[in-house]
């Protein structure tokens, strides 16, 4: 019995000592600086970097003793979502706690460039916005990633001033995959491409969600009967694409500037007579690829077409879409609203 009591005492003492050592070690790691000598250090936290990346940077720069402790300390205090991108000056003698407070408080200077990409922007409109903020030269992004039209998700982004083209594209595409996975994540690649193409057309044709559903319905109804869609936006896009490819060709031959194309400046009346994979007057079915980069509303409505309409038109001021079930009704609406 006495031996049992002695053994328990030894165990209790051992556990107490171990706990004390662990507490002291934790306090040392968190509240004692790695160095009180030297000079302040500059670190950059990018907008796409998470807690693991930040902890790794701090450990590699010998600003903290343990990346793991930094992570758990930040998580334990509920600061994980408060970490801010930016350029930080970490003073000599800063502790792990000091650094966590500094980064979580956003007490740094961000050099990131913010870019807003509206829903329904096409590749040239994205290229122009990136050009306007100085991230790229005009035409660079469109010529490199025009094939990803439809998958460059519209959103507000922050990029480092020295971001590479591939980094910009990847950030947009990965963001889109994350944001749309509940809607189209389970579809096969062909089915997903079809929905994105329909959604890209809806973006250019309708503003309100209620109209988006009905435009989606018109596309579905006409496609089911093999009727040409006869949508001006696809024709304008095809003409723009042709002009842009010609611009690239001229650049390669004579080093002239690559110019983005503005679909609003295309004379559709002439272009509908010229056959192309995007001409939905001369060909039935969908265009060969998306014509813009759709948001969540247009994707949702592309998945859920509504209505028994086959025709529609926009009033001259663009404030209203008039839907029709028959060709006769559509002709009457053209006279009434457009004077044609």
**Which one is predicted more confidently, 163 or 301?**
301
For residue range 2-33, list pLDDT tens digits in order. 555 666 777 777 777 778 788 888 889 888 88
CA distance 260 to 41: 42
pLDDT, averaged across the chain? 90
- Check if the beta carbon of residue 291 is closer than 8 Å to that of residue 278: yes
Q: Using CB atoms within 10 Å of the CB of residue 168, give its burial: 0 to 12 exposed, 13 to 18 middle, 19+ buried.
A: buried
115 has pLDDT over 60: yes
- For residues 82-96, give the mean pLDDT: 85
CA distance 218 to 310: 5
258 has pLDDT over 80: no
For residue range 283-333, list pLDDT tens digits in order. 999 999 999 999 999 999 999 999 999 999 999 988 999 999 999 999 999
H/E segment holding residue 8:
helix 2-31
**Helices 296-303/209-224 angle, 10° precision:** 40
| Span of 97-101, 106-110, 139-143 with lowest mean pLDDT | 106-110
Q: How far is CA 80 from CA 94, 103, 158, in A?
A: 20, 10, 19
| pLDDT of the residue at 270 | 87
**Bridge-partner residues for 312, per DSSP?**
323
CATH entry 3.30.1490.480 includes domain 27-104: yes
| pLDDT of the residue at 49 | 83
**Which one is predicted more confidently, 153 or 29?**
153
**Domain spans, the chain:** 27-104, 115-308
185 has pLDDT over 80: yes
- For residues 218-231, give the mean pLDDT: 97
| pLDDT of the residue at 257 | 66
CA distance 31 to 86: 24
CA distance 81 to 88: 18
| pLDDT of the residue at 50 | 87
Task: With cut-offs at 50, 70 and 90, classify the pLDDT of residue 254.
Answer: low
| pLDDT of the residue at 55 | 94
């Amino acid at each position: 019995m006495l031996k049992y009591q002695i053994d328990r005492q030894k165990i209790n003492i051992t556990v107490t000592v171990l706990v004390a050592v662990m507490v002291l070690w934790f306090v040392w790691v968190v509240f004692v600086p790695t160095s009180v000598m030297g000079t302040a250090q500059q670190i950059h936290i990018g907008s796409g970097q998470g807690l693991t990346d930040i902890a790794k940077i701090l450990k590699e720069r010998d600003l903290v003793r343990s990346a793991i402790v930094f992570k758990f300390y930040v998580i334990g205090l509920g600061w994980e979502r408060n970490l801010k991108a930016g350029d930080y000056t970490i003073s000599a003698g800063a502790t792990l706690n000091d650094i966590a407070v500094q980064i979580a408080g956003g007490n740094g200077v961000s050099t990131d460039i913010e870019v807003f990409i509206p829903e329904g922007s096409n590749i040239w409109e994205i290229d122009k916005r990136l050009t306007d903020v100085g991230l790229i030269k005009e035409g660079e992004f469109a010529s490199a990633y025009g094939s990803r039209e439809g998958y460059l998700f519209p959103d507000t982004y922050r990029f480092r001033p020295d971001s590479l083209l591939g980094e910009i594209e990847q950030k947009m595409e990965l963001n889109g995959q994350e944001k749309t996975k509940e809607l189209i994540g389970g579809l096969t690649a062909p089915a997903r491409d079809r929905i994105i193409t329909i959604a890209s057309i809806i973006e250019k044709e309708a503003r309100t969600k209620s109209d988006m559903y009905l435009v989606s319905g018109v596309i579905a109804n006409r496609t089911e009967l093999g009727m040409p869609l006869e949508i001006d936006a696809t024709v304008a896009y095809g003409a723009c694409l042709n002009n842009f490819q010609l611009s690239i060709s001229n650049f390669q031959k004579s080093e002239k500037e690559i110019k983005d194309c503005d679909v609003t400046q295309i004379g559709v009346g002439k272009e509908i007579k010229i056959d192309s994979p995007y001409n939905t007057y001369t060909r039935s079915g969908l265009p060969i690829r998306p014509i813009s980069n759709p948001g969540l509303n247009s994707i949702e409505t592309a998945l859920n077409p509504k209505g028994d309409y086959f025709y529609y038109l926009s009033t001259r001021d663009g404030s209203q879409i008039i839907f029709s079930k028959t060709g006769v009704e559509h002709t009457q609406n053209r006279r009434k609203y457009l004077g044609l």
